[in-house]
C-alpha cells in the first residue's frame, strides 16, 4: 500500500462508476477526486495535481481523447488510464498512441484496476524523476549536459575547472567507453588554449610503423612513400592541445621522442636536420594503471612522471547510476530525431533493467543499446528491446557462493538471504563510515542513498563508529 498522499483523479459522466472507483481507490489507501465532464477534469488537473488520472473515453461535450490531448500539453508526466467499453477498444488503442498509459474496459475487475493504477504510479514517479534530473542540467555547463547531473559528474566538473586553467600535463584514467575524450575536450575548452586546435590521436589505432611520422612528422624522402614533407600532429596542435588516447600503446621508441618534446619543447621530424619549436599542451588517456606499467618494460617511468602532473579519474557508469535515467532520455531523444521516430519512453521493467545492469562498456555501450532499442520499438521501449540482463561483477558472484556455503544450515532460503543481506549492508555501510570519519551525510552520498535511509540503517544494524 502506498502513501495516503497519492491522489487519483476519476473522470466519468456515470456517477455510479465514479463512486465505485472512488471507493476502490480509498480502500487501497489513495485519495480520490471525482468529476463528471472534460472541462472539470482540466480544472482538476491544475488544482488537485493528481498522480494518476482515470478518464472515460466517451463523455458528452469534450470527449476523453480531446481531454487526453489537453492533459498531455498541461501535464506531460501525468499517467492517464482510459476507461472504455469493450465495443470502444479501437478508441482505446488510439488513446494509447496519443500518449495514454493504459486502458481499462468495463465491466472492471477490481484487482486489474488496482494493478494498472499501481503500474501507472510507478511510471509517473519515474517520469518525474527524469524531469527533475533534466532540470538540474545547467545550460552553461556542456559537460553536465553530455554526461549527466550526478554528484560524481559535479565533482569531475569541479576538478576540470581547476586543472583546466593551468597548463599541467594530465593523465585521464577510466574504463573503455567512460568518456575520457569528452573530459579531455572539456579540459581544453576551459583552458587559455581553447581558441587553439584540439587534436585527438588514438595511439592504439595507428600502426607502429606510421605512428612516429603521424606524431612528429617527416621530411620528403624520409622513407619509401614519403613523397613530400609532412608536419606531425604535435606541430599541428601548436598553441593548442594534443590528446593522446590509449597512451599505453605508444611504442618505447616513440616514448623517448615524446619525452624529448616535453623537455625541450621542440619536435624532431623523421630525417629532419633541425627541430621545430612547439608550444602544445599534452593530455593523455588510458584504461590501464600507467604507474604499474612504468615499473616494467612496458612504459618509461620518466615519461610517466612528466605526463602525470595531474590525474583525473572518470567514474564508470555503474558508479553513477543517477546519470542513467538522464542519459537514457537524452539518447532516446537524439535517436528519435535521427530515425524520424516518436518512441515515447521506457517501460518500468526497462528502466529497472538499465539501472541493474553492470555496463562493462559504459556510456558507449549504453548509447548503442538505446539506439538499437529505439530502432526496434514502435511505442515504448521494453526490456525485450534492450536485450540486456541483470549482471553483477564477478566479485559479487564469488561473494554469493561464499554466503551460500557459510549459511546453508537447513534454514529457509528467504531467511538465509535476509540475514546475509543485512550482513553485507552492515559491512558496506561500516566501511563507508570509516572512510568518511563517521560522517553519515558523506557516507550516504558515497553510497547514493538519502540521509534518512543511512540514519535508519545505522540504527537497525547496530553500527557504531567510534
Output 65 or 449, whichever has higher pLDDT: 65
All residues at 6 or more sequence positions from 338 whose CB lies less than 8 Å from its CB, including other chains: 371
**pLDDT band at 405; cut points 50, 70, 90:** very low
All residues at 6 or more sequence positions from 401 whose CB lies less than 8 Å from its CB, including other chains: none
**pLDDT band at 455; cut points 50, 70, 90:** confident
Domains and CATH numbers, the chain: 7-135 (3.40.50.2300), 142-313 (3.40.50.300), 317-386 (1.10.8.60), 402-461 (1.10.10)
pTM of the predicted model, to two decimals? 0.60
CA distance 351 to 354: 5
**Cell numbers representing residue 280 in the block:** 602544445
Helix, strand, coil percentages (3-state) for the chain, rounded to 5, are 55, 15, 35
- Average of per-residue pLDDT values in the chain: 84
Rank 187-191, 389-393, 400-404 by mean pLDDT and report only the highest. 187-191
Mean pLDDT value of segment 85-101: 74
CA distance 282 to 245: 11
Contact indicator for 19, 45 with CB cutoff of 8 Å:
no
Considering the chain, what percentage of its residues have pLDDT values greater than 90? Answer: 45
Mean pLDDT value of segment 392-396: 43
**pLDDT band at 228; cut points 50, 70, 90:** confident
Contact indicator for 153, 162 with CB cutoff of 8 Å:
no
Q: pLDDT tens digit string along 407-453?
A: 444 555 556 556 667 777 787 888 788 877 788 877 877 777 777 77
CA distance 184 to 187: 5
**Rg value, the chain, Cα:** 29
Q: What pLDDT shows up at residue 134?
A: 56
Amino acid at each position: 500500500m502506498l502513501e495516503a498522499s497519492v491522489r487519483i483523479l476519476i473522470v466519468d459522466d456515470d456517477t455510479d462508476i465514479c463512486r465505485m472507483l472512488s471507493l476502490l481507490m480509498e480502500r487501497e489507501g489513495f485519495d480520490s477526486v471525482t468529476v463528471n465532464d472534460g472541462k472539470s477534469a482540466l480544472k482538476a488537473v491544475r488544482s488537485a495535481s493528481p498522480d494518476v488520472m482515470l478518464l472515460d473515453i466517451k463523455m458528452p461535450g469534450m470527449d476523453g481523447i480531446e481531454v487526453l490531448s489537453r492533459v498531455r500539453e498541461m501535464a506531460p508526466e501525468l499517467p492517464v488510464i482510459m476507461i472504455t467499453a469493450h465495443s470502444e477498444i479501437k478508441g482505446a488503442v488510439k488513446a494509447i498512441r496519443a500518449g495514454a498509459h493504459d486502458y481499462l474496459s468495463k465491466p472492471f475487475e477490481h484487482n486489474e484496476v488496482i494493478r494498472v493504477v499501481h503500474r501507472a504510479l510507478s511510471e509517473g514517479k519515474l517520469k518525474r524523476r527524469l524531469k527533475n534530473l533534466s532540470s538540474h542540467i545547467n545550460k552553461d555547463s556542456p559537460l553536465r549536459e553530455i554526461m549527466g547531473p550526478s554528484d560524481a559528474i559535479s565533482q569531475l566538473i569541479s576538478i576540470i575547472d581547476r586543472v583546466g586553467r593551468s597548463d599541467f600535463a594530465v593523465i585521464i584514467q577510466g574504463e573503455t567507453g567512460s568518456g575520457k575524450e569528452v573530459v579531455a575536450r572539456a579540459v581544453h575548452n576551459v583552458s587559455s588554449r581553447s581558441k587553439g586546435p584540439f587534436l585527438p590521436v588514438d595511439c592504439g589505432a595507428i600502426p607502429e610503423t606510421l605512428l612516429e611520422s603521424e606524431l612528429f612528422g617527416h621530411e620528403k624522402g624520409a622513407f619509401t612513400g614519403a613523397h613530400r614533407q609532412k608536419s606531425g600532429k604535435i606541430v599541428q596542435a601548436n598553441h593548442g592541445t594534443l590528446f593522446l588516447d590509449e597512451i599505453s600503446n605508444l611504442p618505447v621508441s616513440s616514448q623517448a621522442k615524446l619525452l624529448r618534446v616535453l623537455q625541450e619543447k621542440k619536435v624532431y621530424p623523421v630525417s629532419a636536420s633541425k627541430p621545430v619549436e612547439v608550444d602544445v599542451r599534452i593530455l593523455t588517456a588510458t584504461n590501464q594503471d600507467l604507474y604499474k606499467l612504468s615499473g616494467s618494460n612496458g612504459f618509461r617511468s620518466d615519461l610517466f612522471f612528466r605526463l602525470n602532473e595531474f590525474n583525473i579519474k572518470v567514474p564508470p557508469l555503474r558508479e553513477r547510476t543517477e546519470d542513467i535515467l538522464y542519459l537514457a532520455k537524452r539518447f532516446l531523444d537524439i535517436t528519435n530525431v535521427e530515425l524520424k521516430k516518436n518512441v515515447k519512453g521506457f517501460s518500468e521493467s526497462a528502466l529497472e533493467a538499465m539501472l541493474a545492469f553492470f555496463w562493462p562498456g559504459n556510456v558507449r555501450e549504453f548509447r548503442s543499446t538505446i539506439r538499437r532499442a529505439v530502432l526496434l520499438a514502435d511505442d515504448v521501449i521494453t526490456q525485450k528491446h534492450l536485450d540486456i540482463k541483470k549482471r553483477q561483477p564477478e566479485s559479487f558472484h564469488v561473494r554469493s557462493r561464499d554466503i551460500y556455503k557459510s549459511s546453508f544450515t537447513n534454514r529457509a532460503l528467504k531467511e538465509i538471504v535476509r540475514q546475509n543481506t543485512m550482513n553485507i549492508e552492515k559491512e558496506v555501510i561500516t566501511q563507508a563510515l570509516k572512510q568518511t570519519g563517521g560522517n553519515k551525510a558523506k557516507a550516504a552520498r558515497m553510497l547514493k542513498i538519502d540521509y534518512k535511509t543511512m540514519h535508519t540503517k545505522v540504527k537497525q544494524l547496530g553500527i557504531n563508529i567510534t
